[in-house]
Structure 1
């Protein structure tokens, strides 16, 4: 089976688990006078984070998942990581000001059948999945430099300037676009 087909099956499993957990959460939400949740699911998370729950005033809540991690740990990911992120949304909806992994969140996790809620996953994430930043061309009088995306954005926003250690000249953007991806700082 091709990776795309595997990803489709995995996203179907994740979506089914989210629906199951939201059904289980209905009684908790009603008890706190809250409506049911309709989160937007996204599969765009990268790096070492397995999942992320986000909510912003005026927008539907979001659940983001890292398919690269989910592919290698599918069963545990669907059972525990998905519950972890849905529990964040339910906890926020019920308690608003609760600590992210505090007693209220742990109670929701137990309600979802996770006996020992954990703050972080313990999945083996190899370096090929680690977050990477692009490098950007900057130049001075004597040579070309490579700045990380973080530093590039600081320069673009006027928050920082960087100087060549050799000639002391201020580095200027060379307008050549990003260099190939490398491990970032």
Structure 2
């Protein structure tokens, strides 16, 4: 069974458990593994959709099953039960604890080095800066110039 299949099966188990405990049906979400970046997952409330990061999921399969899936499912359940509430507010926390017996952590602790954005070194008069590829490319194309917030000098590529 692939990790995508295992996560989808866990989503279904979470929904079945919620329906048994709360005595009401819930529409099943669509599931996507197209998430990039350092976030583990996301719940799109109005679209009833869950997105998961395939790189972090593959590297942390059991933690995704035990923590990330219930976390994201609880966002959708809170929306369907209570409407617009704080994303990690008391309603969401109560669902995490009472339904799934999972500590309501708001952030994961996964190693994100495999998904960390590539950065480029730039220097000013006082220190070294790490710029994202987007900012680096804007500088190369002459579309932007960035300055240090401390010394106000323009940033120059550290490679030149």
TM-score in terms of structure 1 length? 0.62
> Mapping of 1:37-76 within 5 angstroms?
37-56=27-46, 60-76=47-63
- Aligned counterpart in structure 2 of residue 19 of structure 1, from 12, 32, 42: 12
Map of 1:28 onto structure 2: 22
Q: Deviations over 1:33-90 (max 9, x none)?
A: xx5122010001111100000023xxx4110000101111110111100100000000
Map of 1:156 onto structure 2: none
Map of 1:153 onto structure 2: none
**Structure 1 residues 124 and 162: alpha-carbon distance in aligned structure 2, compared to 1, 3 A threshold:** closer
C-alpha distance in structure 2 between counterparts of 1:137 and 1:124, whole Å: 27
1:83–1:112 Cα contact (<8 Å) kept: no
| RMSD between aligned residues | 2.7
- In the comparison of the two structures, how many residue pairs are matched? 132
C-alpha distance in structure 2 between counterparts of 1:74 and 1:163, whole Å: 42
User: Residue 140 of structure 2 aligns to a residue in which SS?
Assistant: strand
> Which consecutive residues of structure 1, in runs of 5 or more, have no partner in the other structure?
1-7, 139-143, 148-160, 166-185
**Structure 1 residues 109 and 94: alpha-carbon distance in aligned structure 2, compared to 1, 3 A threshold:** same
User: Residue 55 of structure 2 aligns to a residue in which SS?
Assistant: helix
> Which consecutive residues of structure 2, in runs of 5 or more, have no partner in the other structure?
119-131, 148-160
C-alpha distance in structure 2 between counterparts of 1:22 and 1:115, whole Å: 15
C-alpha distance in structure 1 between counterparts of 2:72 and 2:13, whole Å: 13
TM-score in terms of structure 2 length? 0.71
Map of 1:102 onto structure 2: 89
1:80 aligns with 2:67: yes
C-alpha distance in structure 1 between counterparts of 2:53 and 2:45, whole Å: 18
